[in-house]
Amino acid sequence: MVAEIGETLRNAREAKRLTLKDVSKDTNIVVKYLEALENEEFDKFPSETYLLGFLRSYAEYLRLDADELIQAYKGYKIGESSTPLEELTRPTGLSIFTQLRMYAEQYKNILYIAGIGVAVLIVIALFISLITSDVHIGSDDSIKAIQEEYYRTQGKKIAIKNIWPLQIVNDSGIVLLYNNEACQFLVENKEILFLLNEIKDDSVVVEFLPDSKKYILEMEKSVVCSPMESSQNIILTLKGLTENRAKIKVQLTAAQQAVEQEEAVSVVTPVTPGTEVVTHDQKNLKIVLETEFIQKTYFELYLDGNEKVRGFIPAGNKERWEASEYIQIKIGNAGGVKVKINNVDYVFGLPGQVANKVITWRKDPTNPNKYKLEVKDW
């Protein structure tokens, strides 16, 4: 039966026209272990735990029945090898109910292969394993408590399938989540929890609980998050995305460092043509603002003190405005808008940040006929 595992994985991968490098990039499993699974070279894995974890991830990535493949492998190993039973039956991130179903199927196979006497010993070992194992998912009680607190504070229900703990090392860590799965980690001994709320074609929506702050994560774009329970800002970056799973990098940063980072990227005043003008008549000056909305974003615009726009602008919208003295803008999602001022690109902040800016001409104190474009906080 074990011979079918490698063949099943290889056939499914080739049917999707994927290379091993493609799979490695999406699953974060190195190529040599993918090859080992397809070639049934199971002795190349450092332990049974790694083997079973990689087998599950690979199978789910290919949309195969991971439980069936793991059951086939374990049934073979129990009947053919001397590997300790507790190692073979260690949980792999499955729910208790799924494990019970898998173990029941294995139990039938063992009865058939090894006889009643061996089966009785295995059932006892499995029962002990289920009681004493450290399952890496949130218990039903903890999930229920979070759901009740969310309903109490937000007045609506929320679906949570699993809660996966993340160990933060050197202020960062990476977690793989399916839809409606949550990640939990500690910040100065306080539990922080965010839920993968929605998976889109090229982005995901995460929601911190219980304060219900939501953030949109796009590929390789860092978003500074400020959950209510955290004493530090948290930076989330979407590092990988399939149709049903997201790879998210979590970074911690002190509040003051985050403020300094925001200030560093919030105003960019490049010294290029278009930002400095020499003129004998201030009436010749003009400010040209061009915007391209990448995402639906709240936007306010004032030209020389007159309100022109107030409300949400849909994605795909492109506009061009002119003013002679100054422009004031407010952007609800600074990373959702591309901005040009006098044909020069400006960056006003990261995705999810609010930007309030004033754009005006400032006279050069050393040259009365020279004006410099100034962008500052409003």
Torsion of CA 241, 245, 251, 252, to 10 degrees: 140
Q: 89, 124 in Cβ contact below 8 A?
A: no
Last residue of a domain, one of 132, 151, 166: 132
Mean model confidence pLDDT for the chain: 76
CB count, 10 Å around CB of 151? Answer: 13
Residues 6+ apart with CB under 8 A from 302: 308, 327, 328, 329
Residues 284 and 361 in one domain: yes
pLDDT tens string 261-285: 443 333 333 333 345 555 555 667 7
Last residue of a domain, one of 262, 284, 312: 262
Is residue 301 predicted with pLDDT exceeding 80?
Answer: yes
Residues 240 and 277 in one domain: no
Quote the CA–CA distance of 181 and 26 in Å, as a whole number: 18
Angle, to 10 degrees, between the axis of helix 96-114 and the axis of helix 66-80?
A: 40
Any idea which residue has 């493609």 for tokens? 22
* Mean of pLDDT values over 319-325: 90
Is residue 320 predicted with pLDDT exceeding 90?
Answer: yes
Query: What helix, strand, coil percent values describe the chain, rounded to 5?
Result: 35, 35, 30
Kindly report the CATH number assigned to the domain that includes residue 111: 1.10.260.40
Is residue 96 predicted with pLDDT exceeding 70?
Answer: no
Angle, to 10 degrees, between the axis of helix 20-27 and the axis of helix 48-61?
A: 100
In degrees and rounded to multiples of 5, residue 252 shows phi and psi of -105, 145
Residues 162 and 72 in one domain: no
* Mean of pLDDT values over 311-315: 89
- Beta strands 287-293 and 337-341 are antiparallel
Last residue of a domain, one of 224, 241, 262: 262
Is residue 328 predicted with pLDDT exceeding 90?
Answer: yes
Name the amino acid, one letter, at 203.
Answer: S
Residues 244 and 359 in one domain: no
Tell me what pLDDT residue 81 has.
52
Residues 248 and 276 in one domain: no
Q: Residue 1 pairs with which residues in a beta bridge? A: none
Say which residue, 361 or 284, is predicted with more confidence. Answer: 361
- Beta strands 276-278 and 181-187 are unpaired
Distances in Å between the alpha carbon of 183 and those of 38, 41, 119, 164? 31, 33, 38, 5
pLDDT tens string 168-188: 877 888 999 999 899 988 887
Name the amino acid, one letter, at 79.
Answer: G
Residues 162 and 82 in one domain: no
Tell me what pLDDT residue 145 has.
78
Residues 183-221 as b/e (b if ≥16 CB within 10 A, e otherwise) read: bbbebeeeebbbbbbebeeebbebbbbbeeeebbbbeee
Question: Structurally, how many domains does the chain consist of?
Answer: 3
Any idea which residue has 């990261």 for tokens? 350
Is residue 311 predicted with pLDDT exceeding 70?
Answer: yes
Q: What percent of the chain has pLDDT over 90?
A: 16
pLDDT tens string 19-52: 999 888 888 788 998 999 998 888 888 777 778 8
Q: What percent of the chain has pLDDT over 70?
A: 72
Residues 280 and 319 in one domain: yes
Torsion of CA 11, 16, 17, 21, to 10 degrees: -90
* Mean of pLDDT values over 319-347: 88
Residues 8 and 128 in one domain: yes
Say which residue, 78 or 331, is predicted with more confidence. Answer: 331
In degrees and rounded to multiples of 5, residue 19 shows phi and psi of -90, 165
Q: For residue 346, what are the domain limits?
A: 268-377
Residues 128 and 169 in one domain: no
Kindly report the CATH number assigned to the domain that includes residue 236: 2.60.98
Residues 124 and 153 in one domain: no
Residues 194 and 275 in one domain: no
Which helix (H) or strand (E) segment holds residue 195: the answer is strand 190-199
pLDDT tens string 105-158: 444 544 455 555 555 565 555 544 443 333 344 456 668 878 887 777 777 888
In degrees and rounded to multiples of 5, residue 123 shows phi and psi of -60, -40
Q: 172, 189 in Cβ contact below 8 A?
A: no
Q: 251, 239 in Cβ contact below 8 A?
A: no
Residues 238 and 298 in one domain: no
Residue 48 three-state SS: helix
CA atoms within 13 A on the CB side of 88: 22
Tell me what pLDDT residue 374 has.
83
Q: What would the two tokens of residue 35 be? A: 């090859």
* Mean of pLDDT values over 77-81: 59
